[in-house]
Chain A
Amino acid sequence: MKTHKFLALMGSAALAAALSTSLVAAQDNVIRIASQTPLSGGQSVLGVSMSNGVRLAIEQNASVLEDLGFTVEYVPFDDQASPETGVSNAQQIVADASILAVIGHLNSGVAIPSSEVYDENDLVMISPANTNPLVTERGLDTVNRVCGRDDLQGPTGANYAAELGVTSVYVLHDTTAYGQGVAEFFAAEAENLGIAVLGFEGTEEASNFDGIIQPILAQAPELIYFGGIYNQTGVFISQARSAGYEGLFMGPDGFDSSELAAIAGEAVLGTYYTSVAGPASIYPNAAQFIEDYTAAYGEGPQPFAAQSYDATVIAINGIAAAAEAAGGLPSRADVAAAVRATENYEGLTGTITFDDVGDPEIGLYYVIEVASADPAEWSNNSILATLEIPSPAFAASMEMEPEATPGS
């Protein structure tokens, strides 16, 4: 009897499904742009803001493609900052033939495996935030980024620490691809510069750092470098301060969120971070963006929102160029080639020309000091130095070493 019930249920469901699918109408000439960022979880503050940046860019620039007779749609995916979710989303994305570009990710650890899936299917990815060198070093034709690299960001931090006169550092990282990577580059450069690296430790601990802080206090480093993301490092900073640590903190762009101030409170003062993305307010072209963003989403953009906007516009321009060349819906490979050929794109965050592996030829690196413990004041953090550093591939093509040269 049970089997019969099961069969009856299945049979009628099949009938209903077949009927209703034939009723659902489809639209034609749709081009979709997908994004993959953490929309949930501890880093969703950044991920949601990135997604908003993409949406705003599509709303404002879709006309480029609409003039060619296409409809543009936006499909945000949530990679949950987890490589596994990222890869399984990537498989969903490549299966949808109308998706011609992906903007993402936030975490290099997610971007690296996911981009292998995109590349296998010729789908172009433009990253607004992934700084791990491996993202582009693998030489995939489909992978580009509009931001800088950790092997230049880490040393930028070390250089600035030396400029501050720091003689000893303690390096921590969060044992993720991103945090560990940038911490290693920082430590290596610090040693080069003659700064004593008192310790190099990774930890998954997210709430109670008491045991970790004790040996740090005993060695009294002048600066603690933490390669990690604000939701972990904020807790660490607050506990280290209240345990009596009086030195400086430094970190990579994972520090760059107002949440850091919200979590660490007063302890956040005396914190420096390097970033590949200055606050949107420092870019000359970004004033309008901030205004539009705030009008659309009711709050100011977080770091990487402007980069996401730029990445999206580059994607739209690439698709349009490929579509014009193809005289209709372009293939993914055409789009990837058109994006890589981007030259002198005047974006919110600077002028972007991709080099042979997809890095911007000239990357901008910032050293920023947290100015206030008030999260609302985060965008007013003071920029201490801005460096223009050529990407390794570009430097090699110009036959010069990528050296930090102080710029504007």
Chain B
Amino acid sequence: MASISAPLKQKRSFWAFLDKPSNALIFALAYIALTLLAVVLIDRRSLWYPLMNMITTPLFLFTPLVVVSLPLGKWLKVGMFVAMLLVVMPIVGIYNPPFLELAIQISIFAGLALGLNIVVGFAGLLDLGYVAFFAVGAYLWGMFTSNADTVFMVNGWTVDGGAFYIFLILGVAAAALVGILLGLPVLRLRGDYLAIVTLGFGEVIRILARNLDAPTNFTNGAQGLSGIGVPPLPGFLIGFTESMASALGLRVDNPDALAKQLLYYLLALGMLFVIMLICSRLKDSPIGRAWTAIREDEVAAIAMGVPLVRMKLLAFASGAAFAGAIGVLYAAKQSFIDPQSFILLQSISILAMIIVGGMGNIKGVLLGAMLITIVELHTLTNLSLQFNALRNANILNIPQQLDPSKYQPLVFGVILVLMMLFRPAGLLPERSRKLELQEMREEDELQHAMEEPLRDNVLADTSTPGEK
């Protein structure tokens, strides 16, 4: 514990120390080595494994962030960043598969959050049914490859895993189309109406998915689609998995399953990278500026000649398109989807990522997605497992009813409320939004000052009763 307070006490010297690039490199390498050691060393069988896992895995996941924020040379930074993502993390993943799973989920949700960020962050249209587009993509792939008795299966209209990459594109198209279809009627609505209508729309898609098993079976209803097709597995991944496993001295029963996870990891990372690129390009393009204009003041935007309908539709369609593509990947990875995977809580958790990170800011949204996904899938579960282990060992008896993994909605709720009250612009705010909120605060104080003296002065009752 002494290590925590030491650097804080010697503040100045520590900063100076880090500012020197060679020292920064040492710090980065030391950080990577320490967290790697921590992740690798903990023993699954120990009593405190869940707690240690809860702490060390996120620390290791943050290594790319640490590398990026250090004052290192540009190419060194990029080199270390890429090496971490493409070499070190897969190897750790082979050693510890749940880590890989978490990394895949983070990439998937980060992609979704970036997509929603276009709609909410860039264009200022609150969409509470975003998960519907995700579902469109997932069901598209699921319906054509699942082994369930759907109309596709019965009539032999199925495709094999090889079509995966074509379906990624089809997923983009289908979700974008649905996005436009939803966008057209609701574009005239104001922010809060839009929110509720999109929420309703999300529910409609879920109810359809749940009930379109009769009279014609499209979605297999509540039974869900299982045995969903997997993309072809490149041989080098299997070779890599096997050689890495033997180098680490691991007994791997099923190298194909691990290699498949590696493939999903690489695919999810690749898609995230593409989405990120598109987003940052869009943001600084005329389209992005048009979105900002709409977000800030619709009337002024129209007056300036921004084609409102087209721009709003574009925002809906591009946000939806990303979700569609990720949906295809998600269905393949899960190999099972059912309507319960696309409930309102999912939409809200994606929204929470944007809000925590900072609406509109791409880096912020990535950070938010990382934090929320870790909390959702890792922290709460491990905390529950830890409580359970302690209960088993008769050390600490926390009632089952207080199991942290059951309170995921509560955690989201608290995060949303606290962020809105104290840091509405997010952890890494977008500059313009920060300024806007600052203005709002100042205006608010002014208003307060004006209202104070009037507060107790109730006007005498003179108006005619019953009049409107």
Contacts and interface: CB of A to CB of B under 8 A. Distances in A.
B77 to A, nearest CB: 13
Nearest to B6: A12
A156 interface: no
B98 A95 contact: yes
Given A18-B41, A113-B226, A332-B253, A40 B401 contact: yes
A22 B46 CA distance: 11
Interface of B: 1, 3-4, 6-8, 14-15, 18, 27, 30-31, 34-35, 37-38, 41-49, 52, 55-56, 59, 62, 66, 69-70, 96-98, 101, 207, 210-211, 221-224, 226-227, 253-254, 257, 334-336, 338, 340-341, 377, 381, 384-385, 388-389, 392, 400-401, 403, 405-406
B253 A331 contact: yes
B18 A4 contact: yes
A109 B226 CA distance: 11
B59 A13 contact: yes
B254 A40 contact: no
A78 interface: yes
Return the 9 tightest CB-CB contacts between A and B, nearest first.
A26-B43, A113-B336, A17-B38, A14-B34, A18-B34, A18-B38, A177-B223, A12-B4, A40-B406
A109 B223 contact: yes
Contact of B403 (A21, A78, A96, A177): A78
Contact of B334 (A87, A96, A134): A87
A122 B253 contact: yes
B27 A14 contact: no
A372 interface: no
A98 B44 CA distance: 9
Nearest to B341: A84
Interface of A: 1, 3-4, 6-8, 10-22, 24-28, 30, 39-41, 48, 73-76, 78, 80, 82-84, 87-89, 91-92, 94-98, 109, 112-113, 116, 120-122, 134, 175-177, 180-181, 202, 204, 331-333
Contacts of B406: 40-41, 78, 80
Secondary structure type dominating chain A contacts: helix
A92 B224 contact: no
A26 B96 contact: no
Contacts of A8: 7-8, 14
Nearest to B377: A88
Contacts of B45: 26-28, 30, 98
Nearest to A113: B336
Contacts of A78: 384, 403, 405-406
10 contacts: A11-B31, A21-B52, A25-B46, A75-B389, A83-B340, A84-B338, A91-B101, A94-B97, A109-B338, A177-B338
Contact of B69 (A3, A80, A121, A333): A3
A180 B46 CA distance: 43
A87 B403 CA distance: 19
A154 B31 CA distance: 60
Contacts of A41: 406
Contact of B222 (A10, A15, A22, A177): A177
A27 B34 contact: no
Given A16-B4, A96-B44, A177-B224, A202 B211 contact: yes
A176 B18 CA distance: 58
Residue in A13, A40, A41 whose Cβ sees the most chain B Cβ within 10 Å: A13
Contact of B27 (A7, A26, A97): A7
A109 B38 CA distance: 38
A39 B399 CA distance: 11
A384 B468 CA distance: 69
Contacts of B55: 13, 17
Contacts of A116: 226-227, 335-336
Given A8-B14, A80-B406, A113 B69 contact: no
B223 A14 contact: no
